[in-house]
A and B are shown apart, each in its own frame.
Chain A
Amino acid sequence: MSLMSRATSTTARVAASSRSPGPEPRTRLARTGSWARRAPLLPAMIFLVVVTQLPFVVTLVISSFSWNSLDPTSRHFAGLSNYARVFTDNELRSAVGTTVIMTVSIVAVSLVLGLIIALLLNRAFLGRGIVRTLFIAPFLLVPVAAALLWKDALYNPNYGLLNGLLTWVGQLFGSHHPAQPDWLSTMPKTAVETSLIWQWTPFMMLILLAGLQSQPTDAIEAARVDGAGPLQIFRYLTLPHLRRYLELGTLLGSIYIVQNFDAVFTLTSGGLGTANLPYSIYETFYQAHEYGQASANAVVVLVATIVIATFALRVVSSLFREETQR
């Protein structure tokens, strides 16, 4: 963790040093003692360190033990042997792959869809508020409820809505045996991803719509007067303006989708190659009771996340540089 905070403080320092040197704007308020200023911060920081950072330290310790909870007498110090298994474990390797593919594809697709919808909603038309509400609804379903809805009411091969619609289309064309695929077992990854894209597109849309609505209209008008077509306006004015909103959507989406557990657990129980890292660690610890191994897996995931998150934080820091100029 110290590695992480050191990296972030460097980032933040870069951000801070880019400000113009000069007296702090709050000099008059700055006279109160520094401890009086820090005091309100301490409860939150201490709370977070104890509840979120301390467990990682314990995880690190447990990861050096060979420890299966079903056989407590066998617990012994095992050095780095758990780590050796992490890198040879096929299951974990496939979980890493699944996590990367899922996160990237879900974030990318929901960003693009969210952008298209945001562009649609950025025009005035009758009932725009209602349409926006319709779009937000998927994001507001409880994730487990959404996953159950997709599993039982939509994907179900016998009476799910998807195959029901196929039957209807088939009847329309006079076919008596329309295709009735078993969506979850024939395309498990796509099925999980689709349900998550459906949930996260509204989130991306909301952020991008806010970005579009903050775009100054005079530049667009000027470009239009100068004869720029809608595509050119989008390419050279709108897209650059949206950059930081796209980055923000990517970052926040990734934070939550990397950690997704509910959809994988509910839709496929991690079967058919859909087990991502959170699910596979959960399974190693909760079902296989391999405490030492689960902890080693967790530590590896943790280190990988720290590396990725350091880059991500650099992005946020650039996002907030303008805003923090006070």
Chain B
Amino acid sequence: MTTHLPTVASAPPPTRNPRHRLPQPPSARRRKGWNTAWGLTAWGAGLFFFLPVAWMVLTSFHSETDAATNPPSLAAHLTLSGYREFFGSATGQSPLPALINSATASIGSTLLVLLLAVPAAYALAIKPVRKWRDVLFFFLSTKMLPTVAGLLPIYLFAKNTGLLDNIWLLVILYTSMNLPIAVWMMRSFLAEVPISILEAAQIDGAGLLTTLRRIVAPIAAPGIAATALICFIFSWNEMLFARVLTGVAAITSPVFLTGFVTGEGLFLAQVCAAATLISLPVLAAGFAAQDKLVQGLSLGAVK
């Protein structure tokens, strides 16, 4: 890409259009040339990064024989057979229960997280308790400890209480996994509510519920949505807990995905179809909320 630069920069200036009252100085034109080169570089790098994803989607629409060629066949005819096989036309094992389990665990835990995190964030941002920083750091510190270190006791507990292979256990665990991050995020979003408005409302005699509904909720709504989105993504993606604590009835999509590959025969198109389909909810949600994703993932430190 950089090889084009000298040409652009040293190109002879074209005859100036007399209608332009302010002709561009050569430096501005050079900068414009730079910008074109810059844009091309960015496009090139972006496509390079996207290539594996594009390859996955393309392969998912190929037949198994076309998917397994070397050199790769780009112009092979497209078919839905990979997706049909993923939905169980070959093995008879339907992915639907796993998808439903994933949805239950993700949506259920996200709702529970919000239920717990919103009041906590209120107590940390709107009417802060004393030493609220200590509390906030306590929440983050639980996120830093390796989950795998608590896995065995949780497994033994589940085994003895009959909660093994039960999707509601995952709902609880995913809630604890996302709660610290959610509290941090929600606190930073609620901290954006101006104190003066809250005081004004209090002087005007607005009760707690009215204040929450009419003032806090409208300002914090986008933040709540972003928090929910990120909790949803992390729960949807989780595999270690799901793998150890579920077996048959409660398996989630990532676990289904790992068990899906038998290693016999050609399976590339199927795998790509499965990977595409299972990533689809996260991709869709993530693309729809790119900007909020940044603010949320940086725990509100980056505005």
Contact = CB atoms under 8 A, between A and B. Distances in A.
Given A131-B43, A145-B275, A316-B140, A258 B127 contact: no
Nearest to A156: B268
B52 A41 contact: no
A59 B155 CA distance: 11
B46 A134 contact: yes
Interface in A124-181: 124-128, 130-146, 148-150, 152-154, 156, 158-159, 161, 163-165, 167-168, 171, 180
A40 interface: yes
Interface of B is mostly: helix
Of B50, B68, B71, most buried by chain A (CB within 10 Å of CB) is B71
Secondary structure type dominating chain A contacts: helix
A232 interface: no
Interface string B269-303: 00110111011001100110010011101111111
A134 B50 contact: yes
B106 to A, nearest CB: 11
Nearest to A49: B142
A127 B52 contact: no
B147 A259 contact: yes
Given A125-B42, A148-B271, A301-B146, A45 B120 contact: yes
Nearest to A41: B123
A271 to B, nearest CB: 15
Contacts of B138: 5, 8-9, 45
A131 B44 CA distance: 9
Contact of B145 (A133, A210, A265, A309): A309
27 contacts: A29-B199, A29-B202, A44-B179, A51-B173, A51-B176, A54-B153, A120-B41, A120-B42, A123-B38, A123-B39, A125-B42, A135-B45, A136-B286, A137-B50, A141-B53, A144-B254, A145-B275, A152-B261, A153-B55, A167-B71, A180-B70, A198-B52, A210-B294, A244-B301, A259-B146, A266-B258, A309-B144
Interface of B: 35-36, 38-39, 41-43, 45-47, 49-50, 52-53, 55-56, 59, 67-72, 116-117, 119-120, 122-124, 126-131, 133-157, 172-173, 175-176, 179-180, 183, 188, 191, 195, 198-199, 202, 233, 236-237, 239-240, 243-244, 253-254, 257-258, 261, 267-268, 271-272, 274-276, 278-279, 282-283, 286-287, 290, 293-295, 297-303
Interface of A: 4-5, 8-9, 11-13, 15-16, 25-26, 28-30, 32, 34, 37-41, 43-45, 47-48, 51-56, 58-59, 62, 117, 120-121, 123-128, 130-146, 148-150, 152-154, 156, 158-159, 161, 163-165, 167-168, 171, 180, 198, 201-203, 206-207, 209-211, 214, 244-245, 248, 252, 255, 258-259, 261-262, 265-266, 277-278, 281-282, 285-286, 291, 294-295, 298-299, 301-302, 305-306, 309, 312-313, 316-317, 319-320, 323-324, 326
Given A26-B195, A278-B240, 14 more contacts: A34-B129, A51-B176, A58-B150, A133-B290, A142-B237, A144-B257, A144-B258, A148-B271, A152-B272, A259-B146, A281-B151, A282-B151, A305-B145, A312-B144
